Structure 1
Amino acid sequence: MGLDDLVNKGKELFEQNKDKVEGALKSDQAEEISDKVIDGVAGAAKKVLPENLHDKVDSARDAADGAIGNEK
């Protein structure tokens, strides 16, 4: 089985389970985990980036948070 075959199989499996995958990404558990991870990454970024970039970090954090979990 070559790389193309593996990629195609992955696409096929995703399409077959698309509703389950999307449901998992919009679950309470995904929200809790993603909040912790995203907040941690944003906090770490703010520690090493100049203060004038903190608003951009917050915007990126909010965008990522809106894409994962069930709260906006």
Structure 2
Amino acid sequence: MGIFDRFKSQGRHKAKQGSDTAEQRMNEKTGGKYEEQIDRGQQRAEGSLGMDRDRDRPEGQ
């Protein structure tokens, strides 16, 4: 894996962590009332940014 691939992978990982943290905080703020809508919004945002969950690879690959 080249150095640019490694940076790309690290950036994708950081973005995913930020997305998950934001989802968790929104669910806490709303008491889980809008959990399904928040999850769908997160999936759409990740999809439009090329961070689809189906394409995630285990670390180190």
Query: Which runs of no fewer than 5 residues in structure 2 stay unpaired?
Result: 1-7, 53-61
Q: Which has the higher contact order (CA 8 A, sep 6+)?
A: 1
* Structure-2-length-normalised TM-score: 0.59
Q: Please tell me the root mean square deviation across aligned C-alpha atoms, in Å.
A: 1.7
Q: Percent identity?
A: 13
Which of residues 23, 33, 42 is equivalent to 2:14? 33
The 1:66–1:30 alpha-carbon spacing in structure 2 relative to 1, beyond 3 Å, is farther
How many residues are aligned here? 45
CA contact 2:27–2:33 (8 Å) conserved in 1: no
* Structure-1-length-normalised TM-score: 0.52
Structure richer in helix, relative to its length: 1
